[in-house]
């Protein structure tokens, strides 16, 4: 099988799985689950088989899909380093989330719909990873939107799930609006939609980058990765089952936005990058504050995802796309763990999601606790955990660029992301101590038991293993002096290392710029933030409290965090007070002015006269002339006896 066929197989496996479930296993229960999990396993095995045998050269190939005149639409693959990293993340994390789902959804009636949706999600995401042109990315982009719609609406008899799914899809479409206009512009400006060809054009003539195209394409990223001002769908999307949240937040949907920006990094102008950097850096601390104002464990984690997407966006804005991909990969490990842990907790506490009704779960659920603990350290960027390598480098490189004299905006980015790091320690510490320490605060929590092996095994792999060690690859370590090569040869991780650090301006470049600044205090400051934040939480929130101390002591401040900038209220008000009345008004005009005149006179000739006179009011000289002519022709036709 040649590489292209292998990639096509990887892409088509989940589609086949979804088709089988949709056609034959709608009520299949565990059979549907089995098909989906086996498909995910197949994707993982084939992906790693492919990655281990990959020589590092870009793989491309295309099939004409639609041709009309000079307009060509191709279905093609472009496989390079960033795609390699992304494929590894999607395939690996995706598989473990599938496994977890089997345990989590054990009491659900609609397993067929759920697992079919997971397969469609994998298919859409793999399509984005492999696509070689903007058109094809857009197709899978829309399909990702649809898959998330389907999965968020899983509990569709509940109002909130219906509303959340609708919101996710529509908000994403708002982003896609700009994306699509950008694609049309880019296609006509460069004469092609193929990413490699556009890259070549820009390499020859770097002046052919256009800020407008970059900003429009960025709209797609803003929608899918839930960046300002379209971040509102992400927290509502928690209405879906928890494994879906894990999938959306770690390996698929929001990661797709980052990945896309990295793919088109070459056509972004400095203006676009600065915009991305500002919006990302502000998001890191804004979302951090919001996370402090949520009692629902999943919503708090959702804001944490927003903050970390902000870090990735900042990395892109700083000019280190490889670093963004690396943080995406590290984040995928620990965020998947955190969501799966929260799923394990929620499942054990019979669908209780309020952290302050949990408490004291460390002893009852030790495996979940350890995984959560490691992931917390990792997301806070404690040295040598996965998050440390990427997150800390983003913060430090922002300072590095400022010290290098590139502009004061980098000092702002540094400050905001550093504040974000402090906030990460605060909201994660709060979550950790409230949920796992002290005593159970509710009947449900006191009966909690450790989850089944279906759920704990993914936690061990992703939490104990990857959240801890995923970042070690960047140092090109020779494992145990080469003795381990038989089991884990160094070049196994070659594709990862390259994806992060060498191929694009990535980890190495960012690290280098920081080292040049000779500012070891930056490192110490971030350690201080982590330690300070966690220690503060230990004393402020206490161990396993039954109420949020911030909420009781400073309800006003808590309320500000909870309302997360009143974005939802503003948008809801717009829809209810502006959009709908406007639509109703237009509809009234349509009925009264356009329809009304006719209906009144529809008896016979009056209708005709009404129509003619109405069209005279179109205010268009052509129409006037036309109607005049039409009248003349009509009468002459009658006169000549043609009618």
Partner 1 sequence: MDNFYNTLILLAIDIPMAAAIVLLFGKKLGESVSKIIAGIGFIAPALIAIYLWCSFGDAPKEYGYAYLRSFDLGLHETLGISLTLGLNGISAPLFLLAGLVGVAAGLQAIMSKAERKSTYLLLLLVMQAGLMGVFASVDIFFFYFFHELALIPTFIMIGIWGGFGRRAAAMEMTVYLTLGAMLSLLGLIYIYQATDWEGFNLIALTEYVKANSISEVVQHNIFGLLLFGFGILVSLFPFHSWAPRGYAAAPTANAMLHAGVLKKFGLYGLVQIAAPLVPEGALAWNPVLIWLALGNILIIGLVTIAQRDLKMMIGYSSVMHMGYIFLGIATYTVAGVGGAVILMFAHGLSVALMFVLATAVYQRTGTYDMRAIGGLGMKAPILAGFFVAATMASIGLPGFANFWGEFTIFIALWKNYPWAVAPAVLGVIISAIYGLRASAHIFMGPQTEAFAVASEGKTITDITRAERIPAIILLIGLAMVGLWPRSISESINEQLLTQPVYSPATMASVEQSAKPVAATAEQKEEPAS
- Site residues (CB under 8 A) for partner 1, limited to 589-618: 590-591, 594-595, 598-599, 602-604, 607-608, 611, 614-615, 618
* Interface pattern 41-80 for partner 1 (x via CB under 8 A): -----------------------xxxxxxxx-x-------
Tell which positions 348-407 bind partner 1, by CB under 8 A: none
Q: Which is nearer to partner 1, 145 or 343 (CB)?
A: 145
Quickly list DSSP for 302-370.
HHHHHHHHHHHHHHHHHT-HHHHHHHHHHHHHHHHHHHHHHHHHHHHTTS--BGGG---HHHH-HHHHH
Which helix or strand (DSSP H or E) is residue 64 part of?
A: strand 59-68
Q: Cβ contacts of residue 254 below 8 Å, gap of 6+?
A: 224, 225, 226, 234, 248, 305, 309
User: CA 145 to CA 121: how far, in whole Å?
Assistant: 9
Of 189, 237, 234, the C-alpha closest to 210 is: 189
Of residues 507-566, which lie at the interface with partner 1 (CB under 8 A)? none
CB of 639 to partner 1, least distance (A): 13
Taking the least distance from each CB to partner 1, the nearer of 551 and 615 is 615
Least separation in angstroms between residue 22's CB and partner 1 is 8
Q: How many CB atoms lie within 10 A of CB 632?
A: 10
Show Cβ contacts of residue 311 under 8 Å, excluding neighbours closer than 6 positions. Answer: 280, 284, 327, 331, 390, 391, 394, 417, 420
Query: Given the rule CB under 8 A, which of 183-191, 347-355, 525-533, 546-554 is the region that contacts partner 1?
Result: 183-191
Q: Please give the structure tokens belonging to residue 90.
A: 């999607």
Report which of 179, 194, 96 is spatially closest to residue 145, judged by C-alpha positions: 179
Q: Which is nearer to partner 1, 70 or 205 (CB)?
A: 70
Q: Per rule CB under 8 A, is residue 173 in the interface with partner 1?
A: yes
Closest separation in Å from C-beta 360 to partner 1 = 35
Q: Segment near partner 1 (CB under 8 A), from 161-169, 392-400, 525-533, 544-552?
A: 161-169
Closest-CA residue to 317 (of 384, 197, 228): 228
> Residue 232 or 403: which CB sits closer to partner 1?
232
Query: Which are the contacts of 624, defined by CB distance < 8 A and separation ≥ 6?
Result: 616
Read off the tokens for 231.
Answer: 């971040």
CB 599 to partner 1: min, Å: 6
| One of 583, 613, 616, 631 touching partner 1 (CB under 8 A) | 583
Shortest distance in whole angstroms from residue 173 CB to partner 1: 4
Question: CA-CA distance, 86 to 92, in Å (whole number)?
Answer: 10
The structure tokens 């842990």 sit at 341
Is the Cβ–Cβ distance between 221 and 137 less than 8 Å?
A: no
* Residue from 153, 277, 318, 468 in contact with partner 1 (CB under 8 A): 153
Applying CB under 8 A, does 174 fall inside the site for partner 1? yes
Q: How many residues does the chain have?
A: 643
Residues numbered 117 to 146 that lie near partner 1 (CB under 8 A) are 135, 138-140, 142-143, 146
Which CB, 547 or 589, lies closer to partner 1?
589
**CB burial of residue 255 (10 Å; 0-12, 13-18, 19+):** buried
> Phi and psi for 620 in degrees, rounded to 5?
-120, 125
Question: Is residue 633 a contact residue for partner 1 (CB under 8 A)?
Answer: yes
Task: Tell me how far, at minimum, the Cβ of 596 lies from partner 1, in Å.
Answer: 9
Which is closer to partner 1, CB of 169 or CB of 414? 169
- The minimum distance between CB 121 and partner 1, in angstroms, equals 14
Q: Could you say which of 188, 447, 512, 559 contacts partner 1 (CB under 8 A)?
A: 188
Q: In the complex with partner 1, which residue's Cβ is closer, 165 or 284?
A: 165
Q: Which residues contact 506 (CB under 8 A, 6 or more apart)?
A: 320, 321, 322, 323, 325, 326, 499, 500
Pick the closer one to partner 1 by CB: 197 or 523. 197
> Minimal distance in Å, beta carbon 530 to partner 1?
42
Q: Is 620 in the site for partner 1 (CB under 8 A)?
A: yes
Asked if 157 interacts with partner 1 (CB under 8 A), we say yes
Q: Which tokens go with 362?
A: 């460390």
By C-beta, is 172 or 344 nearer to partner 1? 172
- Which lies closer to partner 1 via its Cβ, residue 203 or residue 579? 579
Do 381 and 466 form a contact (C-beta atoms < 8 A)?
no
Beta carbon nearer to partner 1, 117 or 288:
117
Query: Segment 318-337, which members bind partner 1 (CB under 8 A)?
Result: none
* Residue 579 Cβ vs partner 1, minimum distance, rounded to whole Å: 8
State how far the Cα of 258 lies from the Cα of 267, in Å rounded to an integer.
Answer: 15
- And the tokens for 246? 């894990």
Report if residue 586 touches partner 1, rule: CB under 8 A. Answer: yes
Is 23 a binder of partner 1 (CB under 8 A)? no
Between 128 and 431, CB nearer to partner 1: 128
d(CA 358, CA 345): 9
């Amino acid at each position: 099988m040649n590489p292209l066929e292998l990639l096509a197989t990887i892409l088509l496996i989940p589609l086949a799985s979804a088709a089988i479930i949709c056609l034959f296993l709608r009520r299949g229960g565990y059979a549907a689950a089995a098909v989906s999990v086996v498909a995910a396993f197949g994707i993982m095995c084939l992906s790693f088989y492919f990655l281990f045998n990959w020589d590092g050269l870009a793989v491309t190939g295309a099939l004409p899909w639609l041709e009309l005149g000079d307009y060509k639409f191709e279905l093609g693959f472009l496989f390079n380093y960033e795609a390699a990293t992304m494929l590894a993340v999607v395939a690996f994390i995706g598989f473990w989330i599938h496994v977890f789902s089997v345990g989590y959804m054990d009491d659900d009636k609609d397993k067929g719909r759920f697992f079919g949706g997971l397969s469609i999600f994998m298919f859409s995401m793999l399509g984005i990873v492999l696509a070689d042109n903007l058109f094809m990315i857009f197709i899978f982009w829309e399909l990702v939107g649809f898959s998330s719609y389907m999965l968020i609406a899983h509990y569709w008899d509940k109002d909130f799930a219906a509303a959340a799914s609708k919101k996710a899809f529509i908000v994403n479409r708002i982003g896609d609006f700009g994306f699509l206009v950008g694609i049309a512009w880019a296609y006509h400006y460069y004469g092609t939609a193929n990413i490699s060809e556009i890259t070549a054009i820009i390499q020859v003539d770097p002046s052919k980058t256009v800020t407008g195209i970059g900003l429009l394409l960025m709209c797609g990223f803003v929608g899918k990765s839930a960046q300002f001002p379209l971040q509102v769908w992400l927290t509502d999307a928690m209405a879906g089952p928890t494994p879906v949240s894990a999938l959306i937040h770690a390996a698929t949907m929001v990661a797709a936005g980052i990945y896309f920006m990295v793919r088109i990094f070459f056509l972004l102008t400095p203006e676009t990058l600065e915009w991305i950097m500002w919006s990302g850096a502000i998001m890191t601390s804004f979302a951090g504050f919001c996370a402090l104002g949520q009692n629902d464990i999943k919503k708090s984690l959702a804001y944490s995802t927003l903050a970390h997407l902000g870090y990735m966006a900042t990395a892109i804005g700083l000019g280190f796309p490889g670093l963004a991909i690396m943080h995406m990969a590290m984040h995928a490990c620990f965020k998947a763990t955190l969501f799966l842990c929260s799923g394990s907790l929620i499942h054990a506490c019979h669908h209780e999601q309020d952290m302050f009704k949990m408490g004291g779960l460390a002893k009852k659920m030790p495996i979940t606790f350890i995984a959560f603990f490691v992931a917390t350290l990792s997301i806070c960027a404690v040295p040598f955990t996965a998050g440390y390598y990427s997150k800390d480098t983003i913060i430090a490189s922002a300072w590095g660029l400022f010290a290098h004299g590139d502009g004061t905006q980098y000092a702002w980015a540094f400050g905001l992301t550093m504040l974000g790091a402090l906030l990460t320690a605060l909201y994660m510490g709060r979550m950790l101590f409230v949920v796992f320490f002290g005593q159970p605060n509710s009947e449900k929590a006191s009966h909690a038991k450790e989850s089944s092996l279906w759920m704990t095994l993914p936690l061990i792999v992703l939490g104990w293993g990857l959240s801890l060690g995923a970042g070690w690859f960047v140092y090109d370590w020779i494992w145990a002096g080469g003795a381990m090569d038989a089991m884990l040869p160094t070049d196994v991780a070659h594709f990862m290392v390259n994806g992060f650090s060498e191929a694009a301006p990535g980890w190495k470049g960012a690290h280098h710029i920081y080292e040049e600044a000779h500012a070891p205090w930056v490192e110490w400051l971030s350690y201080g933030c982590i330690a300070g934040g966690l220690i503060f939480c230990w004393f402020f929130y206490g161990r396993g409290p039954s109420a949020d101390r911030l909420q009781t002591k400073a309800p006003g401040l808590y309320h500000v965090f909870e309302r997360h900038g009143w974005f939802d209220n503003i948008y809801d008000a717009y829809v209810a007070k502006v959009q709908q009345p406007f639509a109703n008004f237009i509809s009234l005009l349509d009925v009264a002015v356009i329809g009304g005149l006719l209906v009144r006179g529809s008896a016979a000739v009056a209708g005709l006269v009404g129509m003619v006179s109405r069209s005279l009011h179109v205010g268009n000289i052509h129409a006037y002339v036309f109607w005049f002519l039409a009248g003349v022709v009509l009468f002459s036709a009658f006169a000549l006896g043609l009618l």
